[in-house]
A = this chain, B = another copy of it.
Amino acid sequence: MEKSKNKKNVRVNYGLAQKQVLANAGVKITFLRSKILAFAMDSKKPFSFEDVFLALRDTGIHRATIFRNLSLFKDAQILREVDMRQDAMFYEIATKGHHHHVVCKICGCVESFDMCGLDNLVEEFIKNSKEFDKISEHSFEMFGVCKKCYKKK
């Protein structure tokens, strides 16, 4: 796979899909951004800074660059943050649509569900609220022990 390090006359493959997404979001296309985005698009579950860092360590990418781009992608609505109750923040592709997770309290594995079913309940909360007229977002994360971890005990 091509690397941007090769000094001159290099035709870098930025990836078609990633290029599309970045251009569409009005974000300048660079080698590292397309790499980070490619990783994000391939990932089957929410990922952390650490995951990106490990995946791209052979490019010599700097930590700050990853943080800056994750933050940029979040602002550009390319990624969204997911709170997994771990030390670090997790991310996932924002186009995946609203959904929720079940997280294993032991191994940290994640199962995603596209269903939500919370709109009625949110309405209920607003009706009873003294201080809020409108609720624009919600997070609903479930926690348990996955089948694999349960067997191991």
Contacts and interface: CB of A to CB of B under 8 A. Distances in A.
Determine which residue in A85, A102, A136 has the highest number of CB atoms from chain B within 10 A of its CB, and name it.
A102
B142 A113 contact: no
Contacts of A125: 100, 102, 113, 115, 142
Contacts of A115: 124-125, 128
Interface residues of A, number: 38
Contacts of A133: 144, 147, 150
This protein's copies in its complex: 2
A138 B142 CA distance: 4
Given A117-B121, A124-B117, A111 B137 contact: no
Interface string A122-150: 10110011111111111111111111101
21 contacts: A102-B125, A102-B129, A105-B136, A109-B131, A111-B130, A111-B131, A115-B125, A118-B121, A125-B142, A131-B146, A131-B148, A133-B144, A134-B144, A135-B144, A136-B144, A137-B142, A138-B141, A138-B142, A138-B143, A139-B143, A140-B140
